[in-house]
A = this chain, B = another copy of it.
């Protein structure tokens, strides 16, 4: 059992105040003046204090680092280093995760109210969208969007009505909004209705020169591309 380390402090403390007096006249044969020995004793006690402080700091370092097995001086420092590196990695992971969480809600900054609003507003603002990588790299909440019905048709001058019915799963609406935002359409109005197992997405968009079929295909490919990257992690 590790005896020496746990007793170091007591040893140091006990030998703390009792030696400097006995040291008077220890090595005084070198100089006639008592100044040197006095200075030596000063240096001794100073050095003792320094050692004690260092050991106390090491002791405190051991206290803030969990899972310490080896009580070695060097091992304590090593464990502290490893622990700090672990914390660094955790911090980066958490920051990444938090960024992704916020990028879902806060991305367009002014509307982060909800997602279909976001879809709608994407007509006016075109800030930092970075909608190229729509899929989340975290691999979490990846549930595929099942397209049950998709109609794209002209309903007026240059107004196209998009009607999408799909299954209601995790984050379906969020991902749908990402899809429509990534397509950078001129959305006039977006409406999402929720039913027990279905999700109805109706949006009017102002078409510039797009073909109906290409637009429909764009939507399909965007959704399927959003389904693919990660199958299902959990």
Contacts and interface: CB of A to CB of B under 8 A. Distances in A.
A121 to B, nearest CB: 8
Given A57-B77, A168-B113, A94 B87 contact: no
Contact of A94 (B80, B98, B116): B98
B199 A117 contact: yes
Interface string A34-66: 000000000000000010011001101100110
Given A173-B117, A190-B194, A61 B87 contact: no
Contact of A174 (B64, B73, B114): B114
B81 A116 contact: no
Interface residues of A, number: 56
Given A94-B94, A171-B114, A58 B77 contact: yes
A88 interface: yes
A91 B88 contact: no
A191 B192 contact: yes
A186 interface: no
Given A84-B84, A190-B193, A173 B113 contact: yes
Contact of A57 (B65, B81, B121): B81
A98 B94 CA distance: 9
Contacts of A74: 50, 53-54, 57
Contacts of A172: 113-114, 117
A70 interface: no
A189 B195 CA distance: 6
Contacts of A88: 64
A194 B141 CA distance: 26
Contact of A87 (B91, B97, B170, B193): B91
Contacts of A98: 94, 97-98, 101
Nearest to A90: B91
Nearest to A141: B112
A116 B194 contact: yes
A51 to B, nearest CB: 10
Given A112-B171, A117-B199, A191-B194, 8 more contacts: A53-B74, A57-B77, A80-B80, A84-B87, A114-B192, A116-B173, A119-B194, A191-B193
